[in-house]
Chains A and B, each alone.
Chain A
Amino acid sequence: MSKDTQGILWEVFIQSKPGQPHRHCGSVHAHDRELALQNARDVYTRRNEGTSIWVVPSNNIVSSSPEDIGSFFEPANDKIYRHPTFYHVPEGITHM
């Protein structure tokens, strides 16, 4: 196999409409930022799916790991008072 490469891997995030968050939709290969953006546009927005694109080298993404899901997110599990449903308010209350 040759040393010929496809460039590094970039993760692609698309904002579908102004005001919306960017959502991950897949990856592209490219040698630099400009080509990564253009490739992402060509691959992931052929049907007006986006008003903004972010590309990030995949190596720069830090993620939580599935094995640690339990302990990492544990602190929130018993704090149900963070939800509005925990609170009793009188019947007939409005604007709350």
Chain B
Amino acid sequence: MNSTQLEQNFESKLAKNETIEPKDWMPDNYRKHLIRQVSQHAHSEVVGMLPEGNWITRAPSLRRKMVLLAKVQDEGGHGLYLYSAAETLGITRNELIDQLLTGKAKYSSIFNYPTLTWADIGAIGWLVDGAAIMNQVMLQRTSYGPYARAMVRICKEESFHQRQGYEIMCVLAKGTTEQKAMAQDALNRWWWPSLMMFGPTDDKSPNTANAIKWKIKRESNDELRQKFVNQTQPQAELIGLHVPDKDLKWNEAKKGFDFGTPDWDEFYQVIAGNGPCNKARLTARQKAHDNGAWVREAAASYAKKHMSTVAA
């Protein structure tokens, strides 16, 4: 088959909403776009373990500790599903890890913010996982098969994450004056960064045009952001918390909320490496990688010694 025919087959698959699989021909740029998107999604899961991992030793009860451990473990697992999906595109695990540790690849900007109180764990589960769920539900219909299937697995597991976060917020909001204030403070600090998780506005998003054309993305950044605000504001109101947006107002005509503008300067600064925790996150990742080297070496040398490997 010549290249025009390969291209036509690819386009026709997309037009029919059929999935593209690892052995199918695909344009180089489609492959590159996916490698970047899927690997950065994977890095986000793994780096995302850090802000929450910070509170495991200080969870207020055994139940909360068990639950937080399970959540953080899930995030590690999600990263692994996504690294596996990225590898089907022709990049190795070593290259992926290297890209993260050298700063060549990015991860979601939200994880560059610190978890200052226990209420932050509630806010993260409710808002950050909430925003991730919105994005990931949409991505279940993404054109690349392994990515779509990873999304289906992740969506099944993600709903407990959001509930555990919201449950924390509910309990704090109904608690002492100090507890309610702590919950409100966490909401104040995590609201805008969560809105920024959906990426820049559509007109400022350089990758969106290709992502939509190739059916990688099925809804735009602004569409998802609007949905998130519409769904989340009532959840705050229900427990007596206040969304920190003076421009938030119900718009009957569009049956949704009008809301204020995120601080995009802050967004670009954080992406560029100047957020509160960027350095700390990468230092922690590098340390984990270095401290785990003996485990990898031991496993490799045991396998070699006992010849129980199938030829590598």
* Residue positions of A touching B, CB distance < 8 A: 1, 4-9, 25-35, 42-43, 46-47, 57, 60, 63, 65-67
Contact (Cβ within 8 A) A66 B24: yes
Asked, given contacts A31-B303, A32-B302, whether A9 binds B87 with beta carbons under 8 Å apart, the answer is yes
Instruction: Give the distance in Å from the alpha carbon of A25 to the alpha carbon of B297 in the complex.
Output: 27
Total interface residues in chain B, CB < 8 Å: 37
CB distance from A32 to the nearest CB of B (A): 4
Residues of chain B within 8 A of A60, CB atoms compared: 310
* Cβ contacts B287-312/A at 8 Å (1 or 0 each): 00000010011011011001011101
Instruction: Give the distance in Å from the alpha carbon of A42 to the alpha carbon of B79 in the complex.
Output: 13
Residues of chain A within 8 A of B153, CB atoms compared: 25-26
Q: Tell me, yes or no, whether B63 is within 8 Å of chain A by CB.
A: no
Contact (Cβ within 8 A) B308 A32: yes
* Cβ contacts B262-290/A at 8 Å (1 or 0 each): 00000000000000000000000000000
Residues of chain B within 8 A of A8, CB atoms compared: 309-310, 312
Which residues between 53 and 77 of chain B lie within 8 Å of chain A, taking CB atoms? 73-74, 77
Residues of chain A within 8 A of B176, CB atoms compared: none
Instruction: Give the distance in Å from the alpha carbon of A32 to the alpha carbon of B302 in the complex.
Output: 9
Residues of chain A within 8 A of B74, CB atoms compared: 46
Contact (Cβ within 8 A) B293 A32: no
Contact (Cβ within 8 A) A26 B299: no
Contact (Cβ within 8 A) B94 A65: no
Residues of chain B within 8 A of A32, CB atoms compared: 299, 302-303, 306, 308-309
Q: Tell me, yes or no, whether B23 is within 8 Å of chain A by CB.
A: yes
Residues of chain A within 8 A of B258, CB atoms compared: none
CB distance from A24 to the nearest CB of B (A): 9
Contact of A47 among B94, B97, B150, B157 (CB under 8 A): B157
Residues of chain B within 8 A of A6, CB atoms compared: 93-94, 97, 296
Contact (Cβ within 8 A) B81 A26: yes
Q: Tell me, yes or no, whether B25 is within 8 Å of chain A by CB.
A: yes
Residues of chain B within 8 A of A46, CB atoms compared: 73-74, 77, 157
Contact (Cβ within 8 A) A27 B310: no
The 10 listed contacts between A and B (C-beta, < 8 Å) are A4-B296, A5-B296, A6-B93, A6-B94, A6-B97, A8-B310, A9-B87, A35-B299, A66-B21, A66-B25
CB distance from A31 to the nearest CB of B (A): 4
Contact (Cβ within 8 A) A1 B25: no
The residue in chain A whose Cβ has the minimal distance to the Cβ of B289 is: A4
Residues of chain A within 8 A of B87, CB atoms compared: 9, 27
Instruction: Give the distance in Å from the alpha carbon of A79 to the alpha carbon of B127 in the complex.
Output: 55
Highest count of chain B CB atoms <10 Å: which of A8, A27, A31: A31
Q: Tell me, yes or no, whether B1 is within 8 Å of chain A by CB.
A: yes
Asked, given contacts A9-B87, A33-B310, A46-B77, whether A67 binds B1 with beta carbons under 8 Å apart, the answer is yes
Contact (Cβ within 8 A) B94 A31: no
CB distance from A59 to the nearest CB of B (A): 8
Contact of B80 among A43, A63, A66 (CB under 8 A): A43
Instruction: Give the distance in Å from the alpha carbon of A60 to the alpha carbon of B299 in the complex.
Output: 21
Q: Tell me, yes or no, whether B98 is within 8 Å of chain A by CB.
A: yes
The residue in chain A whose Cβ has the minimal distance to the Cβ of B156 is: A47
Asked, given contacts A1-B98, A26-B84, A27-B87, whether A43 binds B296 with beta carbons under 8 Å apart, the answer is no
Contact of B81 among A4, A43, A47, A63 (CB under 8 A): A43
CB distance from B66 to the nearest CB of A (A): 13
Residues of chain A within 8 A of B77, CB atoms compared: 42-43, 46
Highest count of chain B CB atoms <10 Å: which of A33, A65, A66: A66
Instruction: Give the distance in Å from the alpha carbon of A57 to the alpha carbon of B310 in the complex.
Output: 8
Residues of chain B within 8 A of A42, CB atoms compared: 77
Contact of A31 among B73, B80, B84, B299 (CB under 8 A): B299
